[in-house]
Structure formats: C-alpha cells, structure tokens
Amino acid sequence: MAKNEECKESTKDTLTIDVDDKDELLDKMTDLMYDCYWQMGSGEVDFLPRNWGRTKNYCAICNRMYFDEGIKQDKEMSLVPAKDIFLTLKSKKSPDGEYSMLYDMYKVNSLDSITLANKDDIFNLNYDFSIDNGYLVITSMMKKGAMPYLAAGGGVVVGTLLAVFIPGVGWVAGAAIVVTAATLSGGVGFFIDGPGGNPYMPPAIYVNEEKIIEDEFNCKDFATLG
C-alpha cells in the first residue's frame, strides 16, 4: 500500500496498490478481504483437510500487506479503528450487488446485530499500520468441538457469532473483555458458525507476528495450502 509517488510502482513479487487517503485505503483493504472470502469458497466450503485434528486451527494467508512511509507518517491513515474496516464492508455491495460485503461475509446487516460484551471497546481498537511487520489478510477454520467455548451446539444457524480473537487478550466467547482506548489491535477477527457447524473466521486483518499467525492460527500461505 503506497501513498508516496516514488513508491507507486509494482515489482516482480509485489503489487503496489495506490491510495491517497484513509477512505481509499479502507476500500482497497476490504477488497482484499472479500477476494480472500471468494477464493476460499465464500463461506460455503469446508476447506479443512481430510483427517484434520480437532486441536488446532487451519488458516490461509491470502495477502501480505506492507505500508510505505507516506501512510506510516499520516496519523489518520496509520491508526485505523477496527470498526472502520467493518463499516466499510457494510457500505460496499458484493459483486453481485444483492447484499453488502458485511452481510455476505458475516450474515449480519450492521454492527448492531453483533452481540458481544464490550463490543464498542473492541471495535474502537486501533490498527497500527506504522509498524514494519506489516499485516496479513487471513481466514481460518477449525473442527466443530475443537474448543469448548467455540462449540456452536445444535440448531445454531450459519452466521451465529461464536468468539473473537484479540492479540494480547486471547479468545473471548461472549464474556466480558477488558480493553482500553489506548490498546493497539494486532487484529480483530470473529468466528461464526460455518459450513458443517465448523467454527469459521471470515477474512480478517492481523499483524504479521509469529506468535499470532503461527502459534494461534497455524497459518500457511494460500499458495502452499494442500
């Protein structure tokens, strides 16, 4: 992602995405999230490998995002509340034009439809795009019953919120969560009841840190999944 003119050039291994302001940055990032959603079966495909164990996630890295100095030095662009990403998804139509991207991915029409303690505090956590690590667009799934607090139980419709994972806080399943306005978010991703009753996290943005990407999500690059 680049704001400065001298950085707006793609290379062999990367695609430079030009952005001039925060709204354009959010637009391009949510496009990447929706592209990942489509690539992985639009929430309708159980993409867990056969005989996948019940004790860990299965996760795909769809995109790696890095930000140039123009974005890092722009406070409005480098510190973005999580809710702004979800509100952008709400404001954009899916490619077929029938629903919003938010509804397609999460099966809710607005953030008000998400029931979670301290929801406002979670959505007000800031992404910090000024760090050098960069961020990833990832999607994840695990076996039904893999974790007791993620078990959807019988009769739960697709789209029911099961839990949220926040770096530095951990897994939360509808219980009270303590965060402050000063907390910087390594990512906010919601697990919902997905295909076959498996807990499924539609594409979300998380910081590129080993303890999160490998230890918590067991992520692999999309091209290497098999």
**What pLDDT sits at residue 203?**
93
Q: CB under 8 Å to 59, separation ≥6 — which residues?
A: 138, 139, 140, 141, 213, 217, 218, 219, 220
**What pLDDT sits at residue 35?**
95
User: Cα angle at 158 between 152 and 162, to 5 degrees?
Assistant: 40
Least confident of 39-53, 61-75, 142-156: 142-156
Q: How far apart are CA 132 and CA 104, in angstroms?
A: 32
**What pLDDT sits at residue 175?**
41
* Longest alpha-carbon distance in the chain: 55
Per-residue pLDDT band at 5 (split at 50, 70, 90): low
Q: What are the structural domain ranges in the chain?
A: 5-224
Q: Is the pLDDT of residue 39 over 80?
A: yes
